[in-house]
Structure 1
Amino acid sequence: MNIHDGQGVSTGVRTALVIGGGVAGPVTALALRKAGITATVHEAYPAAADGVGAWLALAPNGLTALRTIGADKAVEAIGQPVPGVVMADGAGHRMAGFGGFTELPASLAMPRAALFRALTDHAVAEGVHFAYGKRLVSAEETPDGVTAHFADGTSATADILIGADGIRSTVRTLIDPQAPDPEYGGVLSFGGHATDSGVEAEPGTMYFAFGRTFIGYWQGPDGQLIWFAGLPTDTPPGPAELAQVPAAEWLAKLREVYAGHVPGERLLRHTDPERLITVGRMERMPSVPHWHRGRMVLVGDSAHAPSSSSGQGASLAIESAVELARCLRDLPTPTEAFAAYVGLRRPRVEAIGQNAATANKIKAGKAEAAAVTFPTPEEMFRPLHFHRIDWEQRVTVTA
């Protein structure tokens, strides 16, 4: 496969069903629109996901991809710049620091729900249609299209169907009933806000403290410290059981595990139970053999969720959405477009996912941080943050 500057040929795809309205869904619809393809986003929930999820960081490569489709300003308006990174051990010793790449935009921290809302509102303003309460149950293909059937008894037909429906993707199981399940990383994830903890944090810097346990934190817009941490366990409760445990009980367990940790002990001691966020099991997708079949294809977490340890989940989903649209714009059939898209994306996302799996082992106490050779922050972030998709170049498939 190679890329050139000549004019590509169209797949003949004019319409698309996008299943899932999280991060990948609206970005995919916007990218397809730029490629001349009309997409409708079908979301299982009855309304947009306001107030759902914890915080995330959107990396410079994700923002660069958003700029391609004109959505970067909408996200920058709701994000907090955090260009700096400091890495330390659990005893409070600084190991490395990095101020960010001056050539790139800063990473942005934001509530996940705020990102959903910003992307959805921007897509709607650009003319993308969203249909809510549409939980996909099956799909059937014809030589000319694909029809999605939803739990409410309705259906919709288009030239292609794109699964942007997350780590528990229904579309993935339709493409390949033998597709792997998400892989548990050995850690339950939590977040929270610490008040008057005495822990120092420079504005615009994200801190990572490794050791027997791990905690990350930064100073939020209101001056409070926002933290995220893991509780190692080999037998994680299911979502229903997880929700039944009172926040005060989880906080007590975390305080016990982080006793003596610098600065985890102080951050947790100054966190009230009502400010605790129970995120759930830290999971990632192992290698998914089949990203597409016929007129159906996966994008984002449905194909390559790397776990939150990567700091790249949302950014990779955005990149893949843009790359998929570019391939559909330029190649003569959906099959060729999907194959080119997978060839362009799989090496990058799987390498990042493997690195995140190593970080998960450290957080779960399955590997000593001291035994792992870490690159410098600049070496670590350069191949991640400088990745760029050139929309103006044309994709071709050659023998």
Structure 2
Amino acid sequence: MRVLIIGGGIAGTAAALALHQAGFAPAIHEAHPDHGEDLGAFLTLASNGMRALGELAAAEPVAHRGFPLTRLRLIDATGTELTNAPLGEPDDPLTRYRCLRRADLAAALQQEVRRRGIPITRGARLSSLTEDAASITATFANGQTATGDLLLGADGLNSTTRSLISPAQPHYAGQRVFYGYTTEATTIANTAASQHPDSITMIRGSKTAFGYACSPSGEIFWFARVSSPPASPDEIATTTPAAWRDYLAPLLRPDTTPAADIVEATPDQLMVTNAVDLPPGMRWHTPRAVLIGDAAHAASPATGQGASMALEDAVILAKALRDTPTTTTALTNFDRLRRPRVEHNIAASAALSAGRPPSGQPPTLTNEELTRQLAWTTPLPVDY
């Protein structure tokens, strides 16, 4: 099976690895001429995401790009510690949470794609699709075309593939999200390294949600979520890091936590984006095209599961195509298996972004059930 993958970011490269491992012939088409990822933001890969990478023999190269997080601390606006507990699956180095820059994760996956001989075409921006009973053809803005048996839309939040399959559009989730890095908050970093090694600290602030983790080199990675109207594209493009710092620090200063000091110690590596999500129930596939990752089920970042859910998608889709007799039934099975889990995550993230606790509905899969679904040698459950 020839599979065209639109997008060379996290979802697209992981899907290429999974499909190649399943015996198919994937080819990646990436719109950007040099890279396909946000160079600034960082993320945490949860244990489920690391487990998915492990099934693709890609956990180790990714682990080397980041640093482990084995405990979660929660403090309130007064600095009182509310929780200090193990995080995820900390016993195995390759299932521990990892904190790393998004671009570093993309680079690690792209390196694995090249090592396994999977082709990547850059500068290929999708403009249209033509589908019939036998094949699907992608036409790109440069006039070139590519034809395959199946097409994966892994082109992220602002997916062109999605616009050709479904009318769904991203919706503002009510928060601006700030990201930053600093090596200047040395006292805070030293305290974190000595008293709370390998921990991520979440702060339930009076006006913001804030989190930070310290790398082994002493660099603090931090984020803040601020409820406000969305920042306009012009505001995001033209506001300087210093201006964002002056906006954010006063919101944090009334609390007795390290948050304001971390922000004020951040020089130029400070950026902002709008938290958005996609509506539940949207169409994910046609007979020969399917959406995965943020193109299908983008959630606001409050649960920190976006990348991990995309990695799960890659494994489950490849297994569905491998284990199911026809493409049509494979895509139906993929939708059936994935939709409840990812839409539960969208709802939980939306609630947190709105300042509400999640609904209390239990996860759609237990850890044991998810592990069985991801296990490469275990056939997927089938229900046509």
Q: TM-score, normalised on structure 1?
A: 0.87
Structure 1 unaligned residues grouped into runs of 5+: 1-13
1:158 matched to 2:148: yes
Structure 2 unaligned residues grouped into runs of 5+: none
Report if the CA contact (8 A) 1:59-1:385 is conserved: no
Instruction: Give the Å deviation of 1:207.
Output: 0.5
Distance verdict in 2 for CA 1:50–1:319, change over 3 Å: closer
Distance verdict in 2 for CA 1:398–1:187, change over 3 Å: closer
1:31 matched to 2:21: no
State the partner residue of 1:269. 264
Q: How many residues align?
A: 369
Report if the CA contact (8 A) 2:351-2:358 is conserved: no
1:228 matched to 2:217: no
State the partner residue of 2:298. 305
Instruction: Give the Å deviation of 1:117.
Output: 0.3
1:390 matched to 2:363: no
Report if the CA contact (8 A) 2:352-2:358 is conserved: no
> Matched residue of 2:172: which SS?
strand
Instruction: Give the Å deviation of 1:395.
Output: 3.5
- With 336-345 and 183-192 compared, the bigger mean Cα shift is at 183-192
Distance verdict in 2 for CA 1:102–1:251, change over 3 Å: closer
Q: Spell out, residue by residue over 1:249-282, the C-alpha distance to the aligned partner (whole angstroms, 9 max, x if none).
A: 111110121121222222222222x132x13111
Distance verdict in 2 for CA 1:113–1:398, change over 3 Å: closer
Counterpart among 70, 76, 93 of residue 83 in structure 1: 70
Letter in 1 for 2:185: D
Letter in 2 for 1:206: I
Q: Spell out, residue by residue over 1:288-323, the C-alpha distance to the aligned partner (whole angstroms, 9 max, x if none).
A: 421101200011111111221111111100001110
Q: Measure the CA separation in 2 of the matches of 1:136 and 1:288.
A: 24
Q: Measure the CA separation in 2 of the matches of 1:296 and 1:224.
A: 42
1:339 matched to 2:322: no
1:328 matched to 2:321: yes
Distance verdict in 2 for CA 1:219–1:102, change over 3 Å: closer
Letter in 2 for 1:296: A
Distance verdict in 2 for CA 1:283–1:398, change over 3 Å: closer
- With 149-158 and 222-231 compared, the bigger mean Cα shift is at 222-231
Distance verdict in 2 for CA 1:102–1:113, change over 3 Å: closer
Q: Measure the CA separation in 2 of the matches of 1:317 and 1:284.
A: 14
> Matched residue of 1:74: which SS?
helix
Letter in 2 for 1:185: A
Counterpart among 2, 5, 9 of residue 22 in structure 1: 9
Counterpart among 340, 345, 350 of residue 343 in structure 2: 350
State the partner residue of 2:131. 141
Distance verdict in 2 for CA 1:50–1:242, change over 3 Å: closer
1:282 matched to 2:269: no
Q: Measure the CA separation in 2 of the matches of 1:334 and 1:384.
A: 28
Q: Measure the CA separation in 2 of the matches of 1:192 and 1:160.
A: 39
Letter in 2 for 1:393: T
> Matched residue of 1:292: which SS?
coil
Letter in 1 for 2:70: P
Point out which structure has higher relative CO (alpha carbons under 8 A, 6+ apart). 1
Q: Measure the CA separation in 2 of the matches of 1:283 and 1:191.
A: 16
Instruction: Give the Å deviation of 1:286.
Output: 2.1
Q: Spell out, residue by residue over 1:13-39, the C-alpha distance to the aligned partner (whole angstroms, 9 max, x if none).
A: x11000001101111011111111101
State the partner residue of 1:172. 162
Q: Measure the CA separation in 2 of the matches of 1:355 and 1:50.
A: 25
Q: Measure the CA separation in 2 of the matches of 1:328 and 1:395.
A: 10
Counterpart among 51, 58, 68 of residue 64 in structure 1: 51
Q: Measure the CA separation in 2 of the matches of 1:59 and 1:83.
A: 10
Distance verdict in 2 for CA 1:288–1:244, change over 3 Å: farther
Report if the CA contact (8 A) 1:197-1:267 is conserved: no
Distance verdict in 2 for CA 1:373–1:171, change over 3 Å: closer
Q: Measure the CA separation in 2 of the matches of 1:35 and 1:57.
A: 27
> Matched residue of 2:354: which SS?
helix
Instruction: Give the Å deviation of 1:51.
Output: 6.8
Q: Measure the CA separation in 1 of the matches of 2:291 and 2:96.
A: 29
Distance verdict in 2 for CA 1:393–1:92, change over 3 Å: same
Report if the CA contact (8 A) 1:288-1:304 is conserved: no
- With 38-47 and 210-219 compared, the bigger mean Cα shift is at 210-219
Letter in 1 for 2:113: A
State the partner residue of 2:113. 123
Root-mean-square deviation (CA, aligned residues, Å) is: 2.1
Q: Measure the CA separation in 1 of the matches of 2:253 and 2:354.
A: 20
Distance verdict in 2 for CA 1:374–1:160, change over 3 Å: closer
State the partner residue of 2:242. 248
Report if the CA contact (8 A) 1:203-1:218 is conserved: no
Distance verdict in 2 for CA 1:49–1:298, change over 3 Å: closer
Report if the CA contact (8 A) 2:31-2:125 is conserved: yes
Q: Measure the CA separation in 1 of the matches of 2:163 and 2:176.
A: 25
Q: Measure the CA separation in 2 of the matches of 1:94 and 1:383.
A: 28
